[in-house]
Amino acid sequence: MNCTMENLKLLEGVYQPSQGSSVDELASPALLVDLDGLQSNINRMMDLFKDTSVNVRPHMKTGKSSQIAALLKTSGATGVCVTKVSEAAVMFAGGIDDILITSPVAHAVTAWWLAMLLQRGAKIRIVLDSKETTDVLSSALKDAKVESMEVLIDINVGQNRTGVIPGQPALDLANYIAAKGNLAIKGCQGYEGHLQMMGDLDEKKRLNRIAMKQLVSTAELLRSAGHEIAVVTTGGTGTCRLCAEVAGVTEVQPGSFIFMDDTYARAIGSDNFNNALFVMATVVSRPAEDKVTIDAGWKSLSMDSGPAKPFNNAWTYQAAGDEHGYLTGDGVENLQIGERVLVVPSHIDTTVALHEVYYVMQAGKLVDIWPIEARGRVQ
C-alpha cells in the first residue's frame, strides 16, 4: 500500500493537538509561535512608521503563511512582498490582494505562471532589472492575453545580487520597459541587503545614506524623464528606520522582525523586537553525564547561520546530524530524558521552510495551528 494522501487522511485524528493543549501535548520537534511576541513585534514595527508617510510592506519570505500576512495587513501593512511567483500564488490564494515580487522572473514558464495569476485577478507587481526579464514578462503577458502589468525597476544599491546599475542604465531600462506597451512602471526598488546585519551603527548609517542616495536620485532621474515613480521601496529589519529618514523613500519591506532570530538579535541588538519563534525539542538520550541528545537536528533547525541558541542561555546547542542535536552547559546534567527544551533558530527563514505548520501558543496553551503554505514554494 502506498502512502497516498487518502491513506494518510485515514490516520487523521490519531495525532491532532487541539486548542488548549499545552506544549507537553505536542509531538516534537515543533515550531512554536509566541502569539503575543509576534503581535508585539508587528505593533512595534507599525508604530515606528505611523506618524510618517512611509508605508510598511513586510516581506513574507520569512513567514511564508497567508495567515501571518493577513495579521500584518490587519495591523496596518500596505501589502506584502514575496520573492517567488509560487509564494505570490499562496498569498493570492489566501486572500492577500496587494503583492510585490521582489526578484525578477527570467524564464517563460514562471512568467506564464505569473500571467495566469494576473488573469485570475491577482494584484501583483514585480521588479525588473534587465531587458531579458522585460522581454520574457512582456511576451508571457501577451500570450496570456493579459493587457498590462505594473512593474518596479530593481536598482542595485550595493548588494550586487540583482538590480540594474543606478543612473543612466536604470533610465535606459525604464525606457525599454515603457516601450513594450504592456508594462506600466510604478516605481523603483533598491534593497541594501548587505547592510542589514551590520553592527557598527555609524558605518551602517554612512553606507545606508550612500545606497539611499543612489536609489532616490535614480527615482528622480526617471521621474524627470517622464516615468511615473510613485513607489520607492527599500529596507529590511536592520535598516528600515534609517531608510525611512531619507526624503523620497515611500515604503519599507522588513521581514525578519516578525520573529527575529539569534543571528539578527546578536547583530543589531534585540531592538525591542522579541524572539517569537522557537523549536520545541525533546531530550531523547544522554550520551555523557554533561551532555544530552535532543530530537532536533538539521531537518528542523537550519544551520546556514551557525548553530541555534537554546532558550536557556547557559546551554549550547550543537547539531548531531539530520535528526539530532547535543545540549551542553550548566544544568544539562539535571535534564531528564523526555523533558522538553526550547531552542531559538539561528536563521528563521530557512528554519521555517523546514516545517509544515506553526503551533501558535499564548499563555502556554495552543490557540491555533497555521499551515506554512509557502514552505517548499521556491519556484
Residues that bind ligand PLP (CB under 6 A): 59, 61-62, 81, 102, 191, 193, 196, 236-238, 253-256
- CB of residue 188 to ligand PLP, shortest distance in Å: 13
Helices 66-74 & 35-49, crossing angle to 10 degrees? 50
Query: For 141, phi and psi rounded to 5 degrees?
Result: -65, -45
Which residue of this chain has its Cβ atom nearest to ligand PLP in the complex?
236
Q: Which is nearer to ligand PLP, 190 or 325 (CB)?
A: 190
Q: Minimum distance between the CB of residue 258 and ligand PLP, rounded to whole angstroms?
A: 9
Residue 169 phi/psi, 5-degree rounding, is -60, -35
- When the beta carbons of 43 and 285 are compared against ligand PLP, the nearer one is 43
Among all chains, which residue has been given the C-alpha cell 548588494?
A: 159
Q: Which is nearer to ligand PLP, 180 or 241 (CB)?
A: 241
In whole angstroms, the minimum distance from the beta carbon of 58 to ligand PLP comes to 8
3-state helix, strand, coil in the chain (%, to 5): 35, 25, 45
**Which of 102/293 has CB closer to ligand PLP?**
102
Q: Is 6 exposed, middle or buried (0-12, 13-18, 19+ CB in 10 A)?
A: exposed
The answer to whether residues 76 and 45 touch, using CB atoms and an 8 Å cutoff, is no
* 289 phi/psi in degrees, rounded to 5: -55, -40
Query: Rounded CA gap, 18 and 227, in Å?
Result: 54
What single-letter DSSP state applies at residue 155? B
Residue 166 vs 254, nearer CB to ligand PLP: 254
Kindly tell me which of 187 and 236 has the beta carbon lying closer to ligand PLP.
Answer: 236
What does the alpha-carbon distance between residue 56 and residue 97 come to, in Å, rounded to a whole number? Answer: 15
End-to-end CA distance of the chain: 31
Q: How far is the CB of 139 from ligand PLP (least distance, A)?
A: 25
- We find the least distance from the C-beta atom of residue 198 to ligand PLP, in angstroms, to be 11
Q: How far is the CB of 322 from ligand PLP (least distance, A)?
A: 26
H helices, E strands: number in the chain: 11, 17
Least Å distance, CB 64 to ligand PLP, is 12
Q: How many CA atoms lie within 13 A of 116 on its CB side?
A: 10
Nearer to ligand PLP, 332 or 354 (CB): 354
